[in-house]
């Protein structure tokens, strides 16, 4: 069965620190897709990144970077030089190739203090 584990319930950092949010997934499929979403205090869900199982290249977008490792079934998210505006709940999610349903992790609440 599919499963997404975000073991870190809450992380607190001081502004400008780097922080990594962990995501470990389980699936039997060889084709699958991984996502990260951000949920700021206002409550909406904001799409951050999508990665398919055939693309293990790491990705960098500004201060955000993602490390996908199939060998450890992990898709970790790093924020470099964190800012107060990064404070949010971050969700990792998995979609198998033959379905359209997302399986979400329980989320990691990130608090960035000035």
Note the residues at the interface with other proteins (CB under 8 A).
4, 9, 31-33, 35, 37, 43-45, 47, 50, 52, 91, 93, 95, 97, 100-102, 104-107
- Residues sharing a CB contact under 8 Å with residue 99, sequence separation 6 or more, in sequence order: none
CB-count burial class (<10 Å; 0-12, 13-18, 19+) for 39: middle
- Whole-angstrom CA distances from 25 to 16, 84, 85 are 29, 28, 27
Instruction: State which residue, 32 or 79, has the beta carbon closest to other proteins.
Output: 32
Give the nearer residue to other proteins in terms of CB position, either 16 or 40: 40
Note whether 65 and 80 are within 8 A (CB). Answer: yes
Min dist. Cβ of residue 20 to other proteins (A): 19
**For residues 93 and 112, which CB has a smaller minimum distance to other proteins in the complex?**
93
Least distance from C-beta 18 to other proteins, angstroms?
25
β-partners of residue 91 are: 37
- Least distance CB 15 / other proteins (angstroms): 27
Q: Which is nearer to other proteins, 1 or 114 (CB)?
A: 1
């Amino acid at each position: 069965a599919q499963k997404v584990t975000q073991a870190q319930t809450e992380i607190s950092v001081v502004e400008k620190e780097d922080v990594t949010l962990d995501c470990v997934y389980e699936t039997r499929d060889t084709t699958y897709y991984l996502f990260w979403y951000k949920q700021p205090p206002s409550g909406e869900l904001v799409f951050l990144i999508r990665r398919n199982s055939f693309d293990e290249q790491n990705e960098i977008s500004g201060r955000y970077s993602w490390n996908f490792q199939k060998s450890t079934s992990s898709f970790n998210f790093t924020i470099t030089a964190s800012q107060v505006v990064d404070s949010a709940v971050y969700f990792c999610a998995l979609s198998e190739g033959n379905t359209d349903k997302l399986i979400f992790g329980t989320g990691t609440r990130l608090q960035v203090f000035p």
